[in-house]
Amino acid sequence: MESYMMSVDNVTMKFGSLVANSNVSFNVKEGEIVSLIGPNGAGKTTLFNCVTGFYKPSSGKVIFNGADITGVRPDKIAKLGLTRTFQIVKPLKSMTVKENIMTGAFIRTNKFSEAEKIAEEVMERINLIEKRDYLSSSLTIADKKRLEIARILATQPKMIMLDEAMAGLNQTEIKEVMKLIVTLNKQGMTFVIVEHIMEAIMPISDRVVVLNAGVKILEDIPQNVVNNDEVIKAYLGEKYHAKNQKS
Footprint of ligand ATP on this chain (CB under 6 A)? 15, 18, 20, 38, 40-46, 87
Among ligand ATP, Mg ion, none, partner that 104 touches (CB below 5 to 8 angstroms by kind) = none
**Beta-carbon contacts of residue 13 (< 8 Å; ≥ 6 apart):** 19, 20, 21, 43, 46, 47, 49, 50, 55, 57, 58, 214
As measured in angstroms, the least distance from the Cβ of 152 to ligand ATP is 18
38 binds, among Mg ion, ligand ATP, none (CB under 5 to 8 A by kind): ligand ATP
Task: Judge whether 154 and 118 are in contact, CB under 8 Å.
Answer: yes
CB of 13 to ligand ATP, least distance (A): 8
Which one-letter DSSP state was computed for residue 232?
I
- Whichever of 43 and 157 has its CB closer to ligand ATP, that residue is 43
- Identify what 165 binds: Mg ion, ligand ATP, none; CB under 5 to 8 Å per kind: none
Residues 6+ apart with CB under 8 A from 62: 6, 7, 8, 9, 11, 50, 51, 68, 69, 70
At closest approach, how far in Å is the CB of 144 from ligand ATP? Answer: 18
Shorter beta-carbon distance to Mg ion: residue 165 or 218: 165
Contacting positions for Mg ion (CB under 5 A): 44-45, 87
Q: Which is nearer to ligand ATP, 53 or 104 (CB)?
A: 53
- Taking the C-alpha atoms of residue 7 and residue 14, their distance in angstroms, rounded to an integer, is 20
Residue placing its CB nearer to Mg ion in the complex, 45 or 52: 45
Identify the bridge partners of residue 19 per DSSP, sorted by sequence position. 14
In angstroms, what is the minimal distance from the CB of 220 to ligand ATP? 19
The one of Mg ion, ligand ATP, none whose footprint includes residue 67, by CB under 5 to 8 A per kind, is none
DSSP 177: H
Nearest to Mg ion of 143, 195 (CB atom): 195
Which partner in Mg ion, ligand ATP, none is near 221 (CB below 5 to 8 A by kind)? none
* C-alpha to C-alpha distance for 227 and 236, rounded to whole angstroms: 10
> 161 - beta bridge partners?
84, 192
